[in-house]
A and B are shown apart, each in its own frame.
Chain A
Amino acid sequence: MGDAGRTAENLPLREYAAIGDGRCVALVARGGSIDWLTLPDLDSPTVFAALLDVARGGRLSLRPACRFRTERRYLPETNVLETTFFTDGGCLRVTDALTLPEGGGLVPFRELQRRVDGISGTVPMCWRLEPRFGYAGWPCKIERRGGVPVASVGADALGLRLFGAGEAQVEDEAVGGQFEVSGSSSAVLALVYAHQEPLVLPSEDELAARFEATCASWRRWVENRTYDGPWRSAVMRSALALKLLVYAPSGAIAAAATASLPEEIGGARNWDYRFSWIRDSAFTIDAFLLLGCPAEADAYFWWLMHASQLTQPRLQVLYRLDGGTRLRERQLPLAGYRGSRPVNIGNGAAEQLQLDTYGELLQAAWLYARGGNQIDGDIARRLARLADFVCTAWRRADAGIWEVRSEPQQFTQSKMLCAVALDRAVELAEQGVLPSRNVELWRAESGAIRTFVDTHCWSELRQSYGRFAGSDELDASVLLGLLHGYADPSDARIRSTVDAIARVLADGPYVRRYAGDDGLTGEEGAFVACSFWLAEALARTGRVEEATDLMEQLLGLANDVGLYAEELDPASGAFLGNMPQGLSHLALISAAAAIAEVAG
């Protein structure tokens, strides 16, 4: 591609690959610009946010100072990105990594390495660092300290170590430089960050050793995974993408690495996904256990139970990665991705009532226990209180899994997942895991929910469960009733619902979430997770060939490095929404495993 590096408008989201270290994630454009980085943590304010404001957001660009095209990949079995630049004068390789705190010695608080290796010919290179702390809202100064360019603001400092990358030219709000790379030469740009401590400035040897150790650590992690089913390459890339979203200090998993990337270009559906949704808990535990990640499953389940302790028996829809419950939504004065405003951070959906979360959490606990893990008495009592709460709350209208901002409704999927919550509580009690005092109540209320769903949520017109009671609109989330065990795959109504969703909401591999009002203006794309859910539902209802065909089509819709955003534009295949999106990758893993299981 002929990328000029700094662009006047946002690049397509497909152009981005993600790198991370378990604390923060950076998005790297094909053309060599790092346009998204939050420091020190995934949910911290940005240092680079060119993704949301090309002019003011900040970035670190590194590219040939001439026309070029690129090819890229992740180094095998790692989250380390390799981009090869081809120019008329020669070619070179740039390898990007947020390094892991591996090996001994003094390790920077955070470290991003960009390593340049010549392959052939001679290529002029240029780089430019534009740090913009605090979503480009905190004024910072850049100065040389001991010859190292350092940008600092408050308790944060960002230094740039350069080896073979030319002389740094320091300006008011940026640092830039130029150098040449030839067949045998190499260079390193290392961005080191400190928070509430002095900057650590590593040597070239230390940088090289940590880079190698980081690659080795990722490879070791992949080698220890046990998944051996079909589409292993895509499943392991999804596993690595999920690992990027695991916030290592707490074990929480973020829904995505970015904020406010639009579900419609120019639209208002721009949300901050750098939090952990209870909605994703069952798929997360299931995926970790499928992949052979017991440590991650333990950490996540412990975090889940710890985070929800303050609000129990009520669940908040989402929690901060540190377990906090305050997620006030506010708008930033940024231009937005391709003019998509408002640019929101925080998430107002946290305050909503979403009854399906109780089903997701108890399903997660059931899967965790089924995986041979112990649930202690305290947690068992809390889970039992959740089930008791469901008995009193399931009749209420809620915002549903899709967090609609229209009037609450009696959403079918919420009711189904309430029944799943009670069914799982009953099973866990029968296994002696949960207190069994209220088992009969749980059983009776589960039956009442099923009666409600069959009486009020079935659409004769569509021959399908509707989106909510009395509605003829369809909703792909109802597929979760099948996937989480609300209904048996042989159930005639659930099979008919799968057919209806495939017929009405799907357009080839693209599946919309729902049809109907959601209280927001504008449209949105097809929801990637729903497409994978449909593939899994087809497999579970015995249509393995159709499921396999859909799966193959969906795998072709990932970007060149195997990542997915939240949504796809059915017309162009363009990515929409935040990325990389955990639920998309979780759904891919679940569908691949389900198809393998059914196909035998």
Chain B
Amino acid sequence: MSVWGALAGGFAGTLVLTTILRTGSELRLTRIDLPFLLGTAFTADRTRAKALGYALHFVVGLAFALLYYAIFVAIEESGWWLGAVFGLVHALFSATALVNILLPLVHPRMGSPLTGANATALLEPPGFLMRNYGARTPLVNILAHVAYGALVGGFTQLAS
């Protein structure tokens, strides 16, 4: 197993994940836009937010690849299928806790269930399984993360 393989997988995986989410959006299956959500944490300018968000999204993608790599090393096992399972767990965690609960609490422009009339949110909160962004968002999200995980796992194994 190679950390460079994991990083290469992280880059390719983020590329594919972003493409799947964007395609889901174009097909009107979901309104999820992770780079946009990340970028608007730093600026209210939509254009700048998207540019910054894509850069941040790749950084986050690489960071998660390193986390996957650490687990692969710990269990001395990696591969496409194992990566895909990690991706599934990653998708469920992000939709139920990471993006659903944690992001609204730290994002300065996102509403949360606790936002009251004394504040003005610019972004609606994602809701459980991010379904506020469309009823089919969980499916698109799972598909995207499974693809990401498979690529990280596969690249890590290939680079052994």
Contact = CB atoms under 8 A, between A and B. Distances in A.
Contacts of A217: 117-118
A20 interface: yes
Given A310-B31, A326-B135, A40 B25 contact: no
A113 to B, nearest CB: 14
Interface in A23-47: 23, 40-41
Nearest to A22: B117
Contact of B115 (A22, A221, A323): A22
A332 interface: no
Given A250-B111, A310-B134, A326-B135, A302 B117 contact: no
Given A101-B118, A248-B116, A324-B131, 9 more contacts: A22-B117, A22-B118, A23-B113, A40-B113, A101-B116, A102-B118, A299-B121, A309-B25, A312-B28
Interface in A183-219: 195, 217-218
A290 B46 CA distance: 24
B58 interface: no
Contacts of A100: 116-118
Interface majority SS (helix, strand, loop, mixed), chain A = loop
A248 B115 contact: yes
Contacts of A221: 117-118
Which residue, of B30, B44, B121, B132, has the highest number of chain A Cβ atoms within 10 A? Answer: B121
A577 interface: no
Contact of A298 (B47, B111, B115, B120): B120
A251 B120 contact: yes
Interface of B: 25, 28, 30-31, 44-47, 50, 111-125, 127, 131-135
Given A306-B31, A311-B28, A324-B131, A299 B114 contact: no
Interface size class of A (residues with CB under 8 A): 35 or more
A249 B124 contact: yes
Which 5 residue pairs are nearest across A and B when measured between Cβ atoms?
A22-B117, A249-B111, A250-B124, A295-B120, A376-B46
Given A310-B28, A310-B134, A323-B132, A101 B121 contact: no
B124 A306 contact: yes
Contacts of B30: 310
Contacts of B28: 309-312
A107 B25 CA distance: 37
A226 interface: no
A298 B122 contact: yes
A378 interface: yes
A197 B21 CA distance: 32
A309 B31 contact: yes
A378 B46 contact: yes
Interface of A: 20-23, 40-41, 79, 100-102, 107, 109, 195, 217-218, 221, 243-244, 246, 248-252, 295-296, 298-299, 302-303, 306-307, 309-312, 322-326, 374, 376-379
Contacts of B123: 302, 306
Nearest to A308: B31
Which residue, of A20, A295, A309, A326, has the highest number of chain B Cβ atoms within 10 A? Answer: A309
Which residue, of B116, B123, B125, B132, has the highest number of chain A Cβ atoms within 10 A? Answer: B116
Contact of A21 (B112, B116, B133, B135): B116
A22 B132 CA distance: 18
A121 B114 CA distance: 41
Contacts of B121: 248-251, 299
B117 A246 contact: yes
Nearest to A311: B28
A279 to B, nearest CB: 20
A41 B44 CA distance: 26
A270 B121 CA distance: 31
5 contacts: A249-B125, A250-B132, A251-B121, A251-B124, A311-B28
A311 B25 CA distance: 11
A114 B120 CA distance: 26
B124 A303 contact: yes
Contacts of B112: 249
A236 to B, nearest CB: 15
A520 B144 CA distance: 47
Contacts of A22: 115-119
B132 A322 contact: yes
Contacts of A252: 124
A312 B26 CA distance: 10
B46 to A, nearest CB: 4
Given A250-B125, A251-B121, A324-B135, A109 B116 contact: no
A296 B115 CA distance: 13
Contacts of B127: 322
Nearest to B127: A322
Which residue, of A20, A21, A244, A323, has the highest number of chain B Cβ atoms within 10 A? Answer: A323
Nearest to A20: B117
A248 B111 contact: yes
Nearest to A79: B117
Contacts of B44: 298
A101 B122 contact: no
